[in-house]
Every structure is written in C-alpha cells, then in structure tokens.
C-alpha cells in the first residue's frame, strides 16, 4: 500500500481560531453504481442465504464437490481452478471435505505421484440433497428480479464473470449437482475475482476493500468502524484490519469519541483526501473494464438488476 503523504499525526481539517472548518467533499466512485462494490454486496447476500439454507457445507466446499463430481480426473489443483478458489483455500477445503467423509484421495493410475479426488459412496446421496438446498438459495437470490428478467441477468452475469474463458463452460457431468456456468452465486464469486484482478492491474495504491473503506469514510465524514464496515460491505474483522492498515499508512487518523472514550472514530487525513481525488479516474476505469463484455446498451440495466440482487434480504 502506497502512503498518500507523510504518515503520522495529521490534522484532518484546516484549523482557524481553534475551530475545525468543514472539509470540501472528496470525490469517490459511488458504490451504488460500481459493479465491484455491488458484486461484493451480492456475495454477502448469497452467503447469508446459503448459511440459512445449507447445513454442514460452505459455498466453496460445495463448489469443490461439484468440481469433483462434474469432471473426470480432478486433483486438488484442478478442483481449485474449477471452483475458482486460490491454492491455499482449496487445500483447506479439500482437507475438510476428506475429514468429513465427503471426498477421498486416490492415486492416479497413470502418475503415482498425483492424487485424484473422488466422492465417497456415502456422499453421493447427501450431495443430491444439498444440491436441492443450494438450488433454493439461487432462486431466493434472484427472487427480487422479475421472472422474465432472471435468465437474461444470469447470462449477462456470466459474461461479466468471463465464464466463456473458464473450464466450467464444459462441465461433463450434471447429475445431482448444479450447473456451474448457470449458477448465479458461483458467477458472482468469479466476477468478484475478475474485479480483483483488474483492480490489481490498474490501481496500485490501495486494494479494493481499502478503497471501499476510504470511500465510506469520505461519505460519512467521521465514523466508527461499525458504520464504516456497513457502508463498505465488509465484515467487522475485515474492517478492523483494513482500518488498522490505512491508519498505519497515513490514510486515516483515529480519534476517541467524545461521548465514549472506548469508541474510536476515524477520518481521512489531508494527504488521503488529495490521493482520493487522483484515484477517482483509475477506479472508475476498473468498473468500466468489469462491464466490458456487455454492450453499452446492456450495462445500465445490468447494474439496476445487480443493485436489486445486492440488496436482497437486507434493510435499505
């Protein structure tokens, strides 16, 4: 993370006669129209629905089981690619699935150093039951859209997720599992990964979650971590970590709330305010790149539909 200026104790506003003057508004990319932010919110909605409906398996664990069941000759690396999970995550997921009796490792007859993954006999029937619950999650996720709009939204979401470039476009076996290329929860996670990749190539100063926190603080002014996390669509632990890193980097300044000495509030530092001005253009460019597979006349409608999905099951 690049510092916006000299780190350390920075006054957040100009001071005249001992009175803080209001700071000028800081331009930030509006989260309500930014596909990266909306995708993160939609993923949170999907996770909440999943946890309420599916018992005993997380979304990534189910995606890994689909990879094992849906393709032949799947090892751990291949399962991670198909499930859109990084190397460390898929290693933990596979270990848990093996420990729970959902999957087993078998030697590859053509390469004894390679271990293939397979479903256990007992897990096949259980997987079909989980799939029914998983299918209901996808229905609930899209319930905010008109039935006539749902297939179109999923097709466009697939393009945003670059599903045509992924191996899941050729899923071989569909019995008892969801079809990955048509599953909105999976497509949302892939689209998030696309956003993260594009962000890393375009915006080097801060990560996507860090910008979300900075943008939230810019809109809120002075706020505590709870309000910031809600506005940035981050959980409490992620918010605390991001705020700590931004504070250490000179982007945020902490102060104790006057009405509660135990509560810490943060504001943008003056260098951060200047840096956010410069970040608006590249951040906006990333959002355009995310939507690049869509035609110009499709983008506004897709964002409107994604806004609905991202707010499903949540209070305004």
Judged against a pLDDT cut of 60, whether residue 315 lies above it is answered with no
Average pLDDT rounded to a whole number, residues 184-199: 95
Please check whether residue 63 is in contact with residue 84, taking contact to mean a CB–CB distance below 8 angstroms: yes
Q: Which residues pair with 253 in a beta bridge?
A: 267
pLDDT recorded at residue 271: 93
| pLDDT tens, residue by residue, 192-229 | 999 999 999 999 999 999 999 999 999 998 888 999 99
Q: Which CATH number fits the domain 29-311, given the four candidates 1.10.3720.10, 3.40.50.150, 3.40.50.300, 1.10.10.10?
A: 1.10.10.10
- Taking the model in full, what pTM does it have? 0.86
Average pLDDT rounded to a whole number, residues 296-308: 96
Q: Give dist(CA 185, CA 59) in Å, integer.
A: 9
Place 263 in a pLDDT band, splitting at 50, 70 and 90: confident
Residue with the bigger pLDDT between 21 and 273: it is: 273
Please check whether residue 175 is in contact with residue 74, taking contact to mean a CB–CB distance below 8 angstroms: no
| pLDDT tens, residue by residue, 66-113 | 999 999 889 999 999 999 999 999 999 999 999 999 999 999 888 878
pLDDT recorded at residue 81: 92
Q: Give dist(CA 96, CA 34) in Å, integer.
A: 35
pLDDT recorded at residue 124: 86
Phi-psi region of 54 (alpha: psi -120 to 50; beta: other; left: phi over 0): beta
Place 295 in a pLDDT band, splitting at 50, 70 and 90: very high
Residue with the bigger pLDDT between 189 and 172: it is: 189
pLDDT, mean over the chain: 88
The proportion of the chain whose per-residue pLDDT surpasses 70, expressed as a percent, equals: 90
Measured distance between the N- and C-terminal CA atoms of the chain, rounded to whole angstroms:
33
Phi-psi region of 177 (alpha: psi -120 to 50; beta: other; left: phi over 0): beta
Average pLDDT rounded to a whole number, residues 34-39: 95
Residue 165: both structure tokens together:
């470039």
Please check whether residue 10 is in contact with residue 271, taking contact to mean a CB–CB distance below 8 angstroms: yes
Q: Describe the chain by its helix, strand, coil percentages, rounded to 5.
A: 60, 10, 30
pLDDT recorded at residue 61: 96
């Amino acid at each position: 993370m690049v510092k916006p200026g000299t780190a350390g104790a920075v006054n957040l506003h100009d001071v005249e006669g001992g009175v803080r003057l209001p700071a000028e508004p800081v331009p930030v990319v509006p989260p309500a129209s930014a596909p990266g932010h909306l995708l993160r919110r939609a993923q949170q909605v999907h996770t909440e629905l999943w946890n309420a409906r599916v018992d005993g398996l997380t979304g990534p664990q189910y995606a890994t089981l689909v990879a094992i069941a849906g393709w032949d000759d799947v090892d751990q690396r291949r399962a991670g690619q198909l499930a859109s999970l990084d190397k460390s995550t898929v290693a933990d997921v596979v270990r848990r699935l093996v420990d729970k009796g959902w999957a087993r490792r078998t030697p590859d007859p053509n390469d004894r150093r390679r271990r293939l993954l397979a479903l256990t006999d007992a897990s096949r029937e259980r997987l079909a039951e989980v799939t029914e619950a998983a299918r209901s999650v996808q229905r609930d996720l899209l319930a905010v859209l008109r039935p006539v709009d749902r297939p179109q939204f999923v097709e466009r979401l697939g393009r945003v997720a670059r599903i045509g470039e992924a191996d899941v476009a050729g899923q071989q076996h569909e019995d008892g599992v969801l079809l990955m290329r048509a599953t909105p929860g999976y497509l949302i996670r892939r689209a998030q990964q696309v956003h993260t990749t594009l962000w890393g190539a375009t915006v080097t100063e801060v990560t996507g979650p860090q910008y979300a926190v900075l943008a939230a603080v810019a809109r809120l002014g002075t706020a505590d971590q709870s309000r910031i996390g809600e506005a940035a669509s981050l959980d409490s632990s992620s918010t605390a970590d991001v705020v700590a890193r931004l504070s250490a980097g000179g982007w945020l300044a902490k102060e104790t709330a006057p009405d509660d000495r135990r509560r810490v509030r943060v504001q943008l530092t003056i260098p951060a305010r200047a840096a956010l001005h410069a970040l608006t253009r590249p951040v906006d460019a990333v959002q355009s790149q995310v939507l690049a597979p869509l035609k110009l006349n499709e983008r506004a409608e897709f964002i409107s539909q994604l806004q609905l999905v991202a707010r499903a099951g949540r209070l305004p």
